[in-house]
A and B are shown apart, each in its own frame.
Chain A
Amino acid sequence: MNVEQVIQCRQLSRSFGSLQAVDHLNLSIPKQSIYGFLGPNGSGKSTTMRMLCGLLTPSSGQVEVLGLEIPRQAEQLKHQIGYMAQKFALYDDLTVAENLSFMAKAYNLPGKTQAQRIAETLSRYALQPLQKQMTGTLSGGQKQRLSLAAATLHKPKLLFLDEPTSGVDPQSRRNFWESLFELVNDGVTILVSTHYMDEAERCHGLAILDHGVKVADESPANLIAQIDASVFQIEGTSIMPLKHQLATSPEVLSMMQLGERLRVLLSKKIANPQDYLQRLLAPIDQSLRITPITASIEDVFVMATLHRQPMPPAEKSVTTNASHFQ
């Protein structure tokens, strides 16, 4: 392998009592890329991240981050990584500038470069006008920018971002991701967890976690290309009867209603899927329109988590039109 691996872990596991939060996870994350963890809440994203930066002790398995053995050499690692916790973790009762100054000293930035680095960071993340403002009064997007600024002040080689964009407006999220790509361009490796599909699609590499198990690990494009299902859009006069008819077929793996349309994932076992759907639904609706469409990362996610979490038949596949999972 010619690409330098920044994070490597083998058979990483962690349990809390009887709950297996992370289950024999193998990871290999290359340098200078954005690597995403996609999964619903409780899928082990945070636990994995915390183990990788030495905050949690693994129950078993080996971890090597930036050539250091974790958790044994966690203290040495702390100088080289930046971390953004899921919950805003800077001090609400300090000003923006004070928070950054605190972080600069906490990371032993030399006196001369300190002021310069803070000024650079403030302008990079458009925080200059907010310098003197009390951190607790910032908006969600501003807090998130400040968190990233604080995490990158000491120029870490590796960034851990634990659901950095939850509760932030779409425009702020877009800007945030632009900043991430700029950081990667500077040579930083970023590990980010998310439950937004659009964000997952922007990562270089993506691991889908479900109940502590890695169910997929590829680039988003490959994941979409390799999806084990045919995807169709179905339009008709009335959606509900179509849904009920589709639910009777074991070959329909998932369906999602989008307004007056249905998005259906059909098993690859069916040789001629469009005919299959036509035959299944024609008796219900005469004005039926069935169109094959390309899969999305959400379809990949649904497929990846399908086997691990069989839904009760009655509720099978009726998901609402939501771009993220709560």
Chain B
Amino acid sequence: MISFSRLWAVFRKEVWQLKRDRMTIGMIFGIPIIQILLFGYAINTDIRWIPTVVMDSASTQSSRNLISDLEASQVVKITGYVQTINEIEAQLRTGKVSIGLVIPADFERRLQQNDRAAAQLLVDGTDPIILASARQLTSLQRHQDTQKTQAPSTLFSVRHYYNPERRSAVNTIPGLIGVILTMTMVIFTSISLVREREKGNLELLINTPITSNELMLGKILPYIVIGFFQVTLILALGVWIFNVPIVGSLAEIYIVAMVFIAANLTLGLLFSTLAKTQLQALQMAIFIMLPSILLSGFMFPFSGMPVVAQWIAELLPLTHFERLIRGIMLRGASLSELLPELLALIGFMLITLWLASKRFHKRLD
């Protein structure tokens, strides 16, 4: 029983208002571009060029070999040479370097003896990712160690599927689609009804024959179109700048993204019916944003989280979207294989839309 005329009235009004809201237009296109460039480059879990200071007390051929081998690994970047441990510690403390390489004066003898470590790495352990990278360096060192005496024994050989070059961007960009859509879409609709109320437009609006459903749909539809453009923009930037592969079907990526956008918009609408002011609505949007980013698997692997966190994560649309988008985009999974995730998103959307429609009354009391 939806009147197309009234739905069109709301839709067109939203577009007119949006057209004049330069700031929001800027955000629609600015947020994806800035975030994708920022995070595409910055979120990098395979660490390279960790600033490292060296104290080479041996100053022999083998010690120089060790230093150049370390640098050749690209994990560290030698920023300077010092004479004392104190100087290394000072640089670690101030954060100038994250690793200090100490080569003792008896380096040659230690190399021969094999019972004691030949050299020492002083590592800033506050960042676990850097610590893990430094630990990898020790295997390199042992490798160097044993080179002279015996051939290195390989226990495992690791083969990488889907991301042979081990680039973080490949994992980050599809995840970013979800994060950016969550950030923009929830905010758009969460303030939309509250703004009408704050500006006094709602009293007129609820005195027209426009129904709750027409109002909700009319407010969601323009942003679905905008979301479509945002997804296209992020995909284009991801492919052109970061060479992210699109292994699966592009159509399926869009289907999944549209459902996810709708789920975020309906969640925003629900916030809008709960909030009394635009500020409250924004706070609710932020309240959902942080757990989405931290628990959805975008930042940390889902399997590493405690069970309770996993339960919470299952309630967030972003969790399901991350699984869908990474599956389709990077591993070439088909939508039919990931159907439960898609159904979870559709369910979330329907429940929030129903709740929002139920909460919104065409009355002032």
Interface residues of A (CB under 8 A from B): 50, 53-57, 71, 74-75, 78-79, 81, 83, 85, 87-94, 98, 101-109, 150
Contact B201 A56 (CB under 8 A): no
Contact of B204 among A79, A89, A92, A94 (CB under 8 A): A89
Query: Contacts of A103 on B, CB cut-off 8 Å?
Result: 9, 208
A87 to B364, CA, bound (A): 14
Query: Contacts of A53 on B, CB cut-off 8 Å?
Result: 207
Take A75-B209, A89-B200 as given contacts and tell me if A56 and B364 are in contact as well, using a CB distance cutoff of 8 Å: yes
Q: Is B3 an interface residue (CB 8 A)?
A: yes
Contact B206 A55 (CB under 8 A): yes
A290 to B209, CA, bound (A): 58
Chain B residue nearest in CB terms to A78: B209
A90 to B13, CA, bound (A): 11
A98 to B20, CA, bound (A): 13
A93 to B195, CA, bound (A): 13
Take A106-B9, A108-B3 as given contacts and tell me if A54 and B363 are in contact as well, using a CB distance cutoff of 8 Å: yes
**Please, could you name 23 A-B residue pairs with CB atoms under 8 Å apart, sorted by A?**
A54-B363, A56-B363, A75-B211, A75-B362, A78-B208, A78-B209, A83-B204, A87-B200, A87-B203, A88-B200, A89-B201, A89-B203, A90-B201, A92-B199, A93-B17, A98-B13, A102-B9, A105-B5, A106-B6, A106-B209, A107-B209, A108-B209, A150-B204
Contact A102 B17 (CB under 8 A): no
Chain B residue nearest in CB terms to A98: B16
Number of interface residues of B (CB under 8 A): 29
Take A55-B203, A88-B200 as given contacts and tell me if A93 and B208 are in contact as well, using a CB distance cutoff of 8 Å: no
Query: Contacts of B199 on A, CB cut-off 8 Å?
Result: 92
Contact B363 A57 (CB under 8 A): yes
- B-side binding surface: helix, strand, loop or mixed? helix
Contact with A along B181-218 (1 / 0, CB 8 A): 00000000000000000011111111111110000000
Contact A105 B16 (CB under 8 A): no
A108 to B206, CA, bound (A): 15
Other CB < 8 Å A-B pairs besides A91-B17, A106-B208, A107-B208, 14 of them? A55-B207, A55-B362, A74-B362, A75-B211, A79-B209, A81-B207, A85-B204, A91-B13, A94-B16, A94-B17, A98-B16, A105-B12, A106-B6, A108-B5
Take A50-B364, A55-B363, A103-B208 as given contacts and tell me if A93 and B9 are in contact as well, using a CB distance cutoff of 8 Å: no
Query: Contacts of B354 on A, CB cut-off 8 Å?
Result: none
Query: Contacts of B12 on A, CB cut-off 8 Å?
Result: 101-102, 105
Q: Is B8 an interface residue (CB 8 A)?
A: yes
A74 to B365, CA, bound (A): 14
Query: Contacts of B10 on A, CB cut-off 8 Å?
Result: 106
Q: Is B21 an interface residue (CB 8 A)?
A: yes
Query: Contacts of A150 on B, CB cut-off 8 Å?
Result: 204
Chain A residue nearest in CB terms to B10: A106
Contact B16 A56 (CB under 8 A): no
**Which positions 233-285 of chain B face chain A at CB distance < 8 Å?**
none
Take A57-B365, A108-B3 as given contacts and tell me if A93 and B209 are in contact as well, using a CB distance cutoff of 8 Å: no
Query: Contacts of A105 on B, CB cut-off 8 Å?
Result: 5-6, 8-9, 12
Query: Contacts of B206 on A, CB cut-off 8 Å?
Result: 55
User: In the assembled complex, how far is the CB of residue B144 from the closest CB belonging to chain A, in whole angstroms?
Assistant: 68
Chain B residue nearest in CB terms to A90: B204
A104 to B8, CA, bound (A): 11
